[in-house]
Chains A and B, each alone.
Chain A
Amino acid sequence: MKKLSITKGLAISALTLAMSAGVALAEKTVLISGWGAQSGPLKSFGMNSETILKAAVDKINSEGGVKLKDGSMAKMVYEYYDSRCNAEEGIALARKTATTTNTLIAIGPTCSGVAAASFGVFQKKVDDASDTGLQMPLFTNTAVRNGLAKISQWTFRNTPNEPDMYDKLFAWVRKTKPELKTIYGGTETDQGHSAGTYSKVIVQAAIRHGFEWVAGPIDEVSGKIASGHKNVIKASSNWLMADTSFSVQARAFKKSKADVYLVSSHPFTTCGMLKELARQKAKPKLMIGLTSSSSAETMKGCAKQAEGMIIPTSFAPVTPEAKAVADLAAANGAAADLHSAAAWENVMIIKDVMETVGVSANGENLEADRRAIRDGLEALKTTPGLIGTVTRNQEEGEALKPYVFVHAKGGNWEVLYDPR
């Protein structure tokens, strides 16, 4: 009896081992990691990105997964972390995923400040033996401040090219509304994206297209990108991201009597500012906002006051693919916008690259797999995007995404002009 039990036990153990080995063989996985703000005031950005990233991974797996170098299929799995819009947290997550996990490529972060800091811990130039920086590809979907990806050859972005978008926007405004001549504006000076894009991109583009700053020329601003940007900030009426009173700034806007108001901030203060402008009955002929404000948050906070505001964006449900992603996000309680929808594109691009370069995903060739994916990303000249083909700047790791101009209308962002 006892002998029989031992025999049975051995047989069961052998069977279990054999089955688990079989399962292990059958369930090869490729791991991607992501991080973004999932707590704090910018939580919605990270939540939306993760929801859409998960939906994209689910879609890939439902279609069989990722084809590996040996021809077998692997399921794509992901881990998502909260970087809290904090630079130290972003750096720690980059180090953790690169050194303690089998992550082949990472997606994130949310905030430009975190991106600027954490991109710095990656190896600047590939094959530079003297640089011991992290060697894992990172493909950003949200952090949008201009020119970040060139910090390291391991970092890439699929974020809109704001200089191009605002340049085209002001060219379009100049052409369609020639009666508008003067501009005035303000920004959140403590937010890298808001202030940087405002001073280096938006105002410069406006001046380049013949708009005049109400109080006369701003010293050293010639319309060239980033020239004299500090003077732009000095000449404006600005606020901070946590500000709650905007009366002084709104009064300055009103006093300017400018035709066009530039409001370069994230949804919370955009809404505070727009409401104060409305209270003071400051009525410009046109308002232009920051890309990040073309989101559901602005509509939740101040749809009425934002009515008419124009923003260029790299996402709108204008194609069947984009509409499907927007619907998928909504069904999962999230919102697809220019930041979060890029997570979908990133996952699909990563799958294509992995299949093109051929990864083994067995953990033993981790460094080679990461390098192959990096090289594959760098080699891309174009990628498919939700609203059109994205051109890649191969030297800088940046994207030139198609875009549309949306305006706030009846509580929604509607496409005003589609230059694609």
Chain B
Amino acid sequence: MAELLDLQAWTCPVPLRDSPTIVMGHGGGGQMSAELVDHLFIPAFGGPAPGGLADSAVVTLGGSRLAFSTDSFVVRPLFFPGGSIGHLAVNGTVNDIAMSGATPAYLSCGFILEEGTELAVVGQIAQDMAEAARIAGVSIVTGDTKVVDSGHGDQVYVNTAGFGLVPDGVDIRPNRAQPGDVVIVSGAIGVHGIAIMSVREGLSFGSDLVSDCAALHPLVAAMLSVTKDLHVLRDPTRGGLATSLNEIAVAAGVGVNLVEKSIPIPPDVANACSLLGLDPMYVANEGKLVAFVPRELADEVLEAMRAHPLGAESAIIGECSEEHPGMVVAKTGFGGTRVVDTPLGEQLPRIC
């Protein structure tokens, strides 16, 4: 068992000195989450993966390339318009695997259940997982269950891990983005996060917005049938589109230029965000992907995406450039310029 890390030995010029304890921001998917990984976990586990941190890791075993991923689900509420923690648990890991271009095959699942949780709740979640797995064509082949005392753990926490085979000739990872690449999003953003918020205590809306939770590997397969040379795929979950694009820009050392008008946002999402003072670019998605595609293939890939039900509203939203490496910049509706930065922690509703 590793000894406690020696904080003095951290080389980062701005260590987590302002926060000796874990705060909610560490789970937000933004800068604080990244720092926790970069400065606490990676040094402990022996250095970054080759290719940079992606949704899944591509490893070689016995001559086969596997994409391997894990994800934990702590969403509140457990059941929301369009799905539940069960659907998320399966599709979340399935999508992470798909973002390496692999076809997801097998999943594990681990449950941490709080004493006192109703069996019917756990049963429904299991049903939802089975349903999602069936639709995604994956098998849940192993699992584990632990129970914690009442008051510890929020009814149900789920972890899933999984892997799938990466086809030959496919090499999709964040640092493959290059100047000239076209950025395509597979549909309208912000849907899942707003659907969740519509139920969460204190922020309820009366709208028909449902989560976009879905398994994306069939869409990826359609894209790969046009070309194996997709450079980057990412499903923008926590932290939203802005976070994913920033991570890719930094990993690849490229600048990303967006055209705001071309980013599809459903009116309900836009209006809910206006009301709360949120920016849709930072709101979570669970059934969308963003792709960095070589320029000369962009139109064909886009067409294939639009022909698929999961990508019917796909749109080109920008491109990579050599300028401002590591930064994402957007042209606003008026031709103004706006820097789209990574959020620090969670995005919160504001009054100003």
Is A bound to B?
no
Which residues of B are in contact with A by a Cβ distance under 8 Å? none
Which residues of A are in contact with B by a Cβ distance under 8 Å? none
